[in-house]
Structure 1
């Protein structure tokens, strides 16, 4: 008879048959090898990753695997989540499909993965069906990508590089300050047009929060920070247009713009909500 603690882990242990899985509260990664089931190339392996972010690495792919990406919490908000994946530039050996009720839709061709571009889709659109492409020599084939589950204004049917530029509503703006990956007050120093997005260089005078170090400190004696925030081309932002409150998300170590009101407009809205006691959180505006 197994101890109760071990019995509770059996559902997770049974999902890691190919090689090994790593589980934690906020990240889940899977690494496997097609060589371990080469004699059963027609089998389709099920992989379950119940985390907000992580990675997958499939060495010497043969046959196919189905990757089910889900958060580790149960909530009605799950239906509104998007999944974003970013293949490594060395990723090859497979085609990646979306599998919804047995119907496949091509998401990434083998040749497309080497571009390393971020691709997003709604969590309700299906699981990832990763099918090995037949090659005479599979010794150099590795399919690998990072993934993140996201919930933001870009929506389930938008690419990270092509979200809308509509102004945030008052409620969206106040909620963004409480929930986004970064919140900072500052100015726009420079805007550079890259191939698929605009890269906005900002100088931060007040850093309220940052999930990761996307803004670098100017030093102990200089209380300013600098960094770059990405946004779609069509937003047409310009440098030197005043003081803003920048909010947004961090995707694969890069900052993406969310709500970015002028600071004076945010301050007016925040003070009105404070008076009405409708603010979702408190912010030090002194």
Structure 2
């Protein structure tokens, strides 16, 4: 149990993010700084990291207790190990060394206890610890199963009609456009789909950006963005227009249902005639 012989010292924080220093631990190495955050996503920045930092996540969720938590270390993350806390005991999640900033780490937080992330800074004999900054972004994904790389769904099969009708209502982004290029990353085990969109119906953040273009005496604008997918899904370029839906994680768009637009129209119009559509969707 990590609490033996250590003092927990609470730190002020806002609802989602925390930035603080570890100077207190330089005076007393038994001090563990404790931060409480109440959002489903946010960030932690620990400047001049000391002995240890405990981050308790206390979101106001009306869902079940079972939750999946994902963290993405910052590019400057070096010289520390990350543990998850279960019933007062620590389980190693990220080891000191390697390149954790290139990965997303997910774990399930089950049971009545609030999920907690525990950072333990490695001692630096040359005093370099005082010049470092450790940090990560976090997301609580709620009840999810079959999670693969980065906490994303591992299923690669096409969506059925019911899933498609739900996707246009519940996705973080819904855009209509064409595939410009698909590139593959064997290290991250992901594919990157470059999309040129003629219409962005909605998006949670600014993943898709509007660009102005000039042709002769006329000017127009279009939307461009990138969508990630698992490499195992074997995403390939295709002609024509698609309706892209999916989720956003750590500022990145991840592919969900992506039917051809004409196929989506057929499914939606059939459901609308039978009054089975889950929500209204603007048709051109």
* TM-score of the alignment, normalized to the shorter chain, above 0.5: yes
Secondary structure at the counterpart of residue 147 of structure 1: strand
Partner of 2:193: 200
Secondary structure at the counterpart of residue 271 of structure 1: helix
Q: Does 1:165 align with 2:156?
A: yes
| Aligned 1:1-286 pairs, distance under 5 A | 17-18=10-11, 20-23=12-15, 28-76=16-64, 79=66, 81-112=67-98, 115-124=101-110, 126-136=115-125, 137=127, 138-151=129-142, 155=145, 157-160=147-150, 163-194=154-185, 195-196=187-188, 197-219=190-212, 221-286=219-284
Question: What is the distance in 1 between the residues matched to 2:142 and 2:248?
Answer: 11
String of CA shifts for 1:67-114, please: whole Å, max 9, x gaps. 2224233323x52x4322111111223200122123332211222455
Secondary structure at the counterpart of residue 111 of structure 1: coil
String of CA shifts for 1:31-68, please: whole Å, max 9, x gaps. 22221244442344432211022111122323323222
Alpha-carbon spacing, 1:99–1:217, altered in 2? closer, same or farther (3 Å):
same
Question: What is the distance in 2 between the residues matched to 1:281 and 1:222?
Answer: 31
Secondary structure at the counterpart of residue 277 of structure 1: coil
Secondary structure at the counterpart of residue 274 of structure 1: helix
String of CA shifts for 1:121-166, please: whole Å, max 9, x gaps. 234394212122222222123211111223597x474222863312
Secondary structure at the counterpart of residue 22 of structure 1: coil
Q: What is the TM-score when the length of structure 1 is the normalising length?
A: 0.81
Question: What is the distance in 1 between the residues matched to 2:143 and 2:157?
Answer: 13
Looking at secondary structure, tell me which structure has more helix per residue.
1
Contact residue 95 and residue 133 of structure 1 kept, 8 A: yes
> Across the two proteins, how many residue pairs are aligned to each other?
264
Shift of 1:231: 0.6
Answer with 246-255 or 212-221: which moved more.
212-221
Q: What is the TM-score when the length of structure 2 is the normalising length?
A: 0.82
Q: Which runs of 5+ in 2 are unaligned?
A: 1-7, 214-218
Secondary structure at the counterpart of residue 270 of structure 1: helix
Question: What is the distance in 2 between the residues matched to 1:270 and 1:214?
Answer: 26
Question: What is the distance in 2 between the residues matched to 1:74 and 1:48?
Answer: 19
Q: Which runs of 5+ in 1 are unaligned?
A: 1-14
Contact residue 121 and residue 156 of structure 1 kept, 8 A: no
Contact residue 83 and residue 120 of structure 1 kept, 8 A: yes
